[in-house]
Amino acid sequence: MKVYIDLLFLLNLIYDFLLLMTVSVTLKRNINYKRLLLGSLVGALSTFIIFLPLNKYLLLVLKIIMGLIMLLVTFKYKNIKYFLHNLLYLYMTSVILAGFLYYLKLEFKNLSYLLILGIAPLILYLYIKEQKDLKRIVNYYRKVIITLKNNQEINLTGFIDSGNKLKDPITGKYIILVNKNLIDGIYNIRSPMYVPIKTVNQKSLLECISIKNIKIDNIVYNNYLLGLSDTFKSNDYDCLLNYHLLEGENV
């Protein structure tokens, strides 16, 4: 079998460039294209290692060393955490991309390597998009401590809901939705208030109680009511935080 080393070098160069660019975009490193290209060239030099008369273990060690050098050339060294983070995402991205390309080669045996490599940018684009969407969702989760009027504290997992813009028109307080069953078992609701709300299909009254405050990320918020819902259920979080919290105001 003929091996065209120039073509193999070019393929490795493109592959490494795509990987490094994905790491840069995902981790927001803002590395310029010159450094990405230089790092890719260093990585592509590992192509020639496979022709050295060494056993497979030494070849593996040399390839790992070349990968570390490639990272240092591209992103430089700031601290161990920065370097390890880059290393983790490089290998994670490499495994994902290699897995997809291998799958395509098995499923479509007539596809050329050049065509498969041409699909690689699309795969990495989808990977970056999913990473950003996941981070965006995770950033909406908060650890919440609600202090009731009797000074009892409730620890909940909250989710900032862009659709929750509920506000009591009389007191001007914003509303956090929580499953009523979580409150009934630990707090005696004596004098609830009923706030008019508008849902998609109808208007209704939401049972609410006054609270002392809520604490999110060590910030105390006072201008909130607790809305008790019979229909709100989720396995991922205990309460729906008001969208107003995204504005970061301590009210």
Strand ranges of the sheet holding 213-216, from the earlier edge strand across to the other edge: 193-198, 203-210, 224-229, 174-179, 239-241, 153-160, 141-147, 213-216, 219-221
pTM over 0.85: no
Residue 143, both tokens: 């650890």
Residue 1: its pLDDT value, please?
45
251 pLDDT tier (thresholds 50, 70, 90): very low
Residue 247: its pLDDT value, please?
59
Interval 201-226 mean pLDDT = 86
Interval 114-127 mean pLDDT = 71
Measured at the alpha carbon of residue 37, what is the angle toward residues 35 and 39, in degrees to the nearest 5? 70
Q: What is the pLDDT of residues 20-66, one digit of tens each?
A: 988 888 787 888 889 999 999 988 887 777 777 777 788 778 888 88
Determine the topology of domain 141-247 in CATH: Cathepsin D, subunit A; domain 1 (2.40.70)
Domain ranges, ordered by start, for the chain: 5-138, 141-247
